[in-house]
């Protein structure tokens, strides 16, 4: 998985701190703000639900099931969303 990064590759150096001393120091105090965020990115795959076809066969356990087509899958997702709200 590709590494995701945001922010600066390099932080402010000593020379830059010295150059900006007047604006950064107030009353001999220097406040440093450091915001850090950690994200755990994981790929997600949602398999469409299977629908009953009505055909049963004792020899083939899954013969009575088939994958729902896209229209049926979208209809079920929208119905589930409406039920949540």
Number of domains in the chain: 1
In a domain, 44, yes or no: no
Q: Alpha-carbon distance 75 to 25, whole Å?
A: 61
**Tokens standing for residue 59:** 């020899």
In a domain, 80, yes or no: yes
**Beta carbons within 8 Å of 64's beta carbon, 6+ residues apart:** 52, 53, 54, 55, 56, 57
In a domain, 58, yes or no: yes
The pLDDT of residue 29 is 83
In a domain, 76, yes or no: yes
pLDDT digits (tens, 9 = 90+) for 24-51: 887 888 777 777 777 777 776 776 666 6
Q: Is the pLDDT of residue 6 over 80?
A: no
Find the domain containing 60 and state its range.
50-84
Of 46, 63, 45, residue with least CA distance to 54: 63
């Amino acid at each position: 998985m590709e590494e995701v990064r945001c922010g600066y590759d390099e932080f402010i150096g000593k020379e830059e701190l010295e150059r900006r001393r007047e604006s950064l120091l107030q009353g001999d105090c220097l406040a440093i703000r450091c915001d850090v965020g950690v994200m755990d990115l994981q790929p997600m795959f949602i398999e469409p639900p299977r629908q009953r076809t009505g055909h049963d066969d004792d020899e083939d356990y899954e013969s009575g099931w088939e994958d729902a087509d896209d229209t049926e899958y979208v209809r079920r997702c929208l119905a589930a969303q409406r039920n949540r709200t």
